[in-house]
Amino acid sequence: MFAGHFGLAAGVRSKVPEIPLWALMLGTQLLDVVFVPLYLTGIEPIDAQLGSGYGKGIIHADYSHSLLGAIIIASLAGLFARKAWGGKAGFVMSSVVFSHWLLDLAVHRADLPLLPGNWGDFSLLGLGAWRSEGLSIGMELLILVIGFLMYLRSSLRKTGGTRRKLALSSSIVLGIMLGFALITDITSLF
């Protein structure tokens, strides 16, 4: 759900312009950024039991995507944002980072632990929308379109003349990037 996370960042940017779009996009993907080195070192593997492709494997992101791990990562990102852009930005950034876990909860199969390392051996969480490609794509498309339209509307409303043309151009570039992210997600489902 890379595109859906990015769509959420675009929507949030329309409401909180003091946080740069790059920071919001990084924030929506921060759990995956932490996951990558853990995956590459074998600490958080992916089992390709259900085939290859995005959403097909069972992900053992027992640290980066545990509920407590997500809360810790979101809190650290919020502290950084608070120092960089102010108190409101800290709260918003924490929420944006944590939104990754909530969206993953909707799409992942039951592979999200409550505690790092699945300490306590609690039941794993995940509502499994990835089981239905149509549902997954629909959810992502909805988040992406709403986020992009919020961003576009906000960009155009605040500008006039030459700045309006620049805002429209940058919105078109963002739309193309979001479209490519969605296409990448869709093609990896099959």
SS3 breakdown of the chain: % helix, strand, coil, rounded to 5?
70, 5, 25
Q: Which residue has the higher pLDDT, 68 or 163?
A: 68
User: Where residue 140 falls among pLDDT bands split at 50, 70, 90?
Assistant: confident
* pLDDT above 70: residue 181: yes
Inter-residue contact 150 to 11 (CB < 8 Å)? yes
Say what the pLDDT of residue 190 is: 57
DSSP conformation letters of 49-103? TT-SSTTTSEE--TTTTSHHHHHHHHHHHHHHHHHHH-HHHHHHHHHHHHHHHHH
* pLDDT above 70: residue 1: no
**Nearest CA among 129, 148, 183, 161 for reference residue 8:** 148
Say what the pLDDT of residue 60 is: 87
User: Where residue 168 falls among pLDDT bands split at 50, 70, 90?
Assistant: confident
The 10s digit of each residue's pLDDT in 21-73 is 999 999 999 999 999 999 999 999 988 765 555 566 678 899 999 999 999 99
**Nearest CA among 129, 124, 122 for reference residue 103:** 129
What is the spatial distance between Cα 137 and Cα 182, in angstroms, rounded to a whole number? 8
Mean pLDDT, to the nearest integer, of 13-19? 92
Mean pLDDT, to the nearest integer, of 138-149? 88
Say what the pLDDT of residue 160 is: 67
Highest mean pLDDT among 65-74, 109-118, 152-161: 65-74
* pLDDT above 60: residue 89: yes
Q: What is the mean pLDDT of the chain?
A: 87
* Amino acid identity at 88: K
**Nearest CA among 73, 101, 102, 95 for reference residue 19:** 95
